[in-house]
Amino acid sequence: MNQIDSIPRAKTQILLPPPFLRWFAEKGWQPRAHQLELLSRVQGGESMLLIAPTGAGKTLAGFLPSLVSLTERGKIPPGSAFTGIHTLYISPLKALAVDIERNLMKPVGDMGLPVRIENRTGDTPAAKRQRQKLNPPDILLTTPEQVALLLANGEAERFFKDLKYVVLDELHSLVTSKRGHLLSLGLARLRQLAPGMQAIGLSATVADPMDLQRWLAPQRAGENNHAGLITVTGGARPEISIMRTDERVPWAGHSAAYAIGDIYKAIGETRTTLLFVNTRSQAERVFQELWTINDDNLPIALHHGSLDVGQRRKVEAAMAENKLRAVVATSTLDLGIDWGDVDMVIHVGAPKGASRLAQRIGRANHRMDEPSRAILVPANRFEVMECQAALDANYIGAQDTPPVGKGALDVLAQHVLGMACAAPFDPLSLYTEITSAAPYAYLTWETFERIVDFVATGGYALRAYERYAKIRKTPEGFWRVSNPMVAQQYRLNVGTIIESPMLNVRMVKHNARGALGRGGMALGKVEEYFIEMLSPGDTFLFSGKVLRFEGIRESECLVSQGYKLDPKVPSYAGGKFPLSTYLAQQVRKMLADPSRHATLPDQVRDWLSLQKDLSMLPKEDELLIETFPRGSRHYMVIYAFEGRLAHQTLGMLLTRRLDRAGLKPLGFVATDYSLAIWALEDLGEAFTSGRPRLADLFDEDMLGDDLEAWLNESFLLKRTFRNCAVIAGLIDQRHPGKEKSGRQVTVSADLIYDVLRSHEPDHILLEATRNDASTGLLEIERLGDMLSRIKGHITHRPLDRISPLAVPVMLEIGKEAVNGDAQDFLLAEAADELFADVMATASP
């Protein structure tokens, strides 16, 4: 719906100063209704949340109150007293802050406004940063980490005292992460430093706007504080289709290789295409396969977070100049960078969430009143259904963004240290300030005290480190840092994005004597653990090339051109989203309702009808479990549709229970849609005779002791612990002068975890780790919801052979990694079988 025409001219003239009116008139534009409404409500003193689709002029709307206010204020005469910054703009991406500076300078220049705009990111030179502190710009464009750094500085009070507005861009993507938690604490502090400050949040459509409205306003017990809301609906409805193909859609896998020909054809028929995939390895694979068939030499580029920055900037520039026909990209492009004229979005693989799909499709066509075009390419048959469900969801505007969640304790520890670095703090007033941030409104005084204790001395029951305390209580009851080194250490460790150690990938050539040369082109970065698994001579796909691993030199991974066509694909961590609860429900609905199968491609329809004949289709509100023998093993397949992470947790817990029941489970594998467990004993027979009863097996009490017992030996917790320990400041992310030595980290978080867990299992950092794991990696809440939903609705279908619906998950068996206990088992197997040539293995 376009609201442009409904603005009374008189209102515009009251709100906007003459330079703005002239500028709009010269451009032949009119301010949009939401821009003016936002302006007038902010001028009325409210904090505001603006929800609008891409192309609705959100950015200008967000800055309008600042620009008008600064125009009315006029230039500060030289020689005046120090004036702090007027407006702080915070974006999740460095690139976005830089992009906005460009886009904002243009109208400000055209209108001749007396406004100084600068950006400040990790890349800003030290001299410029220093100057910004002495002579702040009017509008500062920056990132959450920089805000934390500025706030931890002794000059923060002066720097922010004149702050009027904080503009928070892409707020929906910020608030659900630990970066959002850190930023919410920063916002609470800004409110202390500049009590009249107003927040303006800019967001794409979200499931629950009130979450964000509260986030923008100070929370106090017994009060219902929240920002005002303006929602811009509409834009033209996107045209989305699922790629039709004559090829056979595979049962399992994620490569979508079958559809490459069709994708290539679609690129050829459009001017500029954005190709989204879910993971970096998928991006590499799709890019390579497109070039294999690129007979017309279409300019097709690759863009993902691991590539060298220089290469990424080149791709972005070429895209902005419309020199490219297609870019294969991962989520690095999800956010609102301006990408020139994209005609079409092709989404390879299922989108995993309806909101995510809507945001990605929004990339095509930045003009709000023209429809976006998008094609979904499912990679396997379950994804066909998921795509269809997402498509239906997008049409009805469904939203499944995750909730904001409770603020993390490791982030809180970082913030507390930062506040001590800024100035000595009174614990009670800091507590009051912290709990005014929505994510931390839940925080008890007792937990806050434990965090302060942790920051001071590590918070150990054995009070061994009092004499080394980082912060100390003064006789007046204030906490202050013990020495200047503490502040330096804080500055080096600020932030919540913890990367696993990365190695530069550098291309080298063999010289005439066969030795490796030096200094070829840098291709990007790859996780150290991946490289550690390679032996010289192994090939892998990176930066769109097949590379041969040559070796590691210092912190670089040396590679040469590989000539094999069948590379090992980098198995990067990250980038894989689990299926959203909402979409899972839609897939269940679709499966259960044969009348909706008509919209699906023939081969998928045939597959489902075969399933109906040979077994049954799971009903929407029931849990279908099939059991069948295969080879010398017995399988159970559980169609839970709760996403890979929740299934993995369920698999861990069920195998424990099956083990106790004497059914000898051997392993399990989880996909987004189902979970397969295999065992030595006849599972079907056991369930039929009620030993154990399925209702008992799936009882919610598995989330009690079984979960606790499993967590205690799970390696997942170690990975989570490492992140928490770095964010909380227990382990340094970087050391002064040793930044490049990710490989030489002097302490191993795994070992620290083991020691801490065996000696102080209720330590606050272990509590933070468990909180993190249960919401993140383990999706325990989601599993709990499912267990209570399926109570009394479990259907067991014993079969004498594998069912059609079970084929995809069965194909995944053998690809999964084992962890924890199974490692020792495999070690034994390795030592006993594979390496039978072992020397003496005598008894003691």
Instruction: List residues binding another protein (CB under 8 A).
Output: 454, 457-460, 462, 464-465, 468, 470, 485-486, 489, 532-533, 535-536, 713, 730-732, 747-748, 751-752, 754-760, 763, 814, 817-818, 823-824, 826-831, 834-835, 837-844
One-letter amino acid at 301 equals A
303 by Cβ neighbours in 10 Å (0-12 / 13-18 / 19+) ranks as buried
321 vs 466 by CB, closer to another protein: 466
State the minimum distance, in angstroms, from the CB of residue 474 to another protein: 19
- Omega of the bond leading into 501 within 30 degrees of 0 (cis): no
State the minimum distance, in angstroms, from the CB of residue 152 to another protein: 16
State the minimum distance, in angstroms, from the CB of residue 750 to another protein: 9
538 vs 681 by CB, closer to another protein: 538
29 vs 468 by CB, closer to another protein: 468
357 by Cβ neighbours in 10 Å (0-12 / 13-18 / 19+) ranks as buried
State the minimum distance, in angstroms, from the CB of residue 296 to another protein: 38
State the minimum distance, in angstroms, from the CB of residue 355 to another protein: 35
256 vs 486 by CB, closer to another protein: 486
| Phi, psi at 404, each rounded to 5° | -65, -40
Residue 819: partners with Cβ closer than 8 Å, 6 or more residues away: 714, 715, 716
Give the count of beta carbons closer than 10 Å to the beta carbon of residue 249.
20
497 vs 822 by CB, closer to another protein: 822
563 vs 835 by CB, closer to another protein: 835
State the minimum distance, in angstroms, from the CB of residue 752 to another protein: 6
428 vs 747 by CB, closer to another protein: 747
395 vs 825 by CB, closer to another protein: 825
One-letter amino acid at 94 equals K
Q: State the residue for tokens 């980038």.
A: 575
- CA nearest to 567, candidates 817, 281, 311: 281
State the minimum distance, in angstroms, from the CB of residue 767 to another protein: 14
Dihedral angle, C-alpha 341, 345, 346, 352, nearest 10 °: 150
Question: How far, in Å, CA of 617 to CA of 594, rounded?
Answer: 9
Question: How far, in Å, CA of 400 to CA of 467, rounded?
Answer: 50
Task: Measure Cα distances from 761 to 388, 463, 757, 766, 775 in Å.
Answer: 47, 16, 5, 7, 20
| Phi, psi at 746, each rounded to 5° | -80, -20
- CA nearest to 325, candidates 241, 392, 244, 268: 268
- CA nearest to 227, candidates 23, 42, 377: 42
Any alpha helices (H) in 84-170, and if so which ranges? 94-111, 126-134, 144-151, 156-160
226 vs 763 by CB, closer to another protein: 763
293 vs 533 by CB, closer to another protein: 533
Q: Kindly give the pairing relationship between strand 228-231 and strand 48-51.
A: parallel
The pair of three-digit structure tokens given for residue 205, joined into one six-digit string? 């459509």
* Ramachandran quadrant class, 590 (left: phi over 0; alpha: psi -120 to 50; beta: rest): alpha
State the minimum distance, in angstroms, from the CB of residue 535 to another protein: 6
State the minimum distance, in angstroms, from the CB of residue 558 to another protein: 13
538 vs 620 by CB, closer to another protein: 538
State the minimum distance, in angstroms, from the CB of residue 717 to another protein: 11
445 vs 468 by CB, closer to another protein: 468
State the minimum distance, in angstroms, from the CB of residue 790 to another protein: 33
State the minimum distance, in angstroms, from the CB of residue 814 to another protein: 8
Question: How far, in Å, CA of 83 to CA of 78, rounded?
Answer: 11
Question: How far, in Å, CA of 353 to CA of 376, rounded?
Answer: 13
Per-residue DSSP letters for 672-726?
Answer: SS-EEEEESS-HHHHHHTTTT-HHHHT-GGGGTHHHHHHHHH-SHHHHHHHHHHH
* Size of the chain, expressed as the number of residues it contains: 844
State the minimum distance, in angstroms, from the CB of residue 463 to another protein: 9
Q: State the residue for tokens 């750094």.
A: 149
- Reported as type and span, the H/E element at residue 414 is helix 409-422
593 vs 829 by CB, closer to another protein: 829
State the minimum distance, in angstroms, from the CB of residue 838 to another protein: 5
Question: How far, in Å, CA of 749 to CA of 433, rounded?
Answer: 32
Q: State the residue for tokens 């070992």.
A: 751
| Phi, psi at 326, each rounded to 5° | -155, 150
535 vs 788 by CB, closer to another protein: 535
The pair of three-digit structure tokens given for residue 778, joined into one six-digit string? 């383990």
147 vs 764 by CB, closer to another protein: 764
Question: How far, in Å, CA of 348 to CA of 339, rounded?
Answer: 19
Contact 11, 37 (CB under 8 A): no
Per-residue DSSP letters for 766-819?
Answer: HHHHHHHHHHTTS-HHHHHHHHHHSTT-EEEEE-SS--GGGHHHHHHTTSS---
Q: State the residue for tokens 């009017």.
A: 138
State the minimum distance, in angstroms, from the CB of residue 765 to another protein: 9
431 vs 454 by CB, closer to another protein: 454
State the minimum distance, in angstroms, from the CB of residue 562 to another protein: 18
Question: How far, in Å, CA of 37 to CA of 339, rounded?
Answer: 28
State the minimum distance, in angstroms, from the CB of residue 536 to another protein: 8
462 vs 512 by CB, closer to another protein: 462
